[in-house]
Amino acid sequence: MSKFTVLTISLLATTIGMCAAALPSQAQDGVSSGRACRVTDPTGTPLNARLQPNGKIVNRIRNGRTVYAQSISSDREGKPWVLVASKERGSYKILGYVLREYVSCY
C-alpha cells in the first residue's frame, strides 16, 4: 500500500470521526443514520464519492447500488452531501460523500 493511499485512508477516517461526533443521529432532509438509499444519478455514469463534501474523489459508485446514509453535511455553497457506506458482512464500509440529489432514500 502506497504512502498516498495510507494518507487518504487516514484523512477519510479522521473526517468521518469528526462528522460522526458532530452530527445528531437524525439528520436534515429526512436522511437518518443507517437509512437505506439507492444511487440514482441521472447521467448513468458511476457516482463520484468524495473524501469530504466537494473534495477529492475516493470512490465511484455504480448507479442503482444500495448504500446506507451515515450523516449529512453541506458544502460552502449550501448544497447537501450524504456520507454513504456499503454494508458488508454485517458492518458498514464508508464509501465517501455524495451529492444528496443523486441518492434516493427510503
β-pairing verdict for 36-39 and 91-99: unpaired
What's the total number of domains in the chain? 1
Range of the domain at 73: 3-105
More confident residue, 83 or 7: 83
Largest CA distance in the chain: 39
Question: Residue 101 is part of a domain; what is its CATH number?
Answer: 2.30.30.40
How buried is 26 (Cβ within 10 angstroms: 0-12 exposed, 13-18 middle, 19+ buried)? exposed
Q: Which of 66, 73, 72 is nearest to 87 (CA)?
A: 66
* pTM of the complete model: 0.70
Tens of pLDDT, residue by residue over 45-59, are 999 999 999 999 999
How far is residue 11's CA from residue 30's CA, in Å, rounded to a whole number?
Answer: 27
Residues 76-87 have a mean pLDDT of 95
pLDDT at 95 exceeding the cut of 50? yes
Tens of pLDDT, residue by residue over 7-52, are 455 545 554 554 444 433 344 455 556 789 999 999 889 999 999 9
Give the residue carrying C-alpha cell 498516498: 4
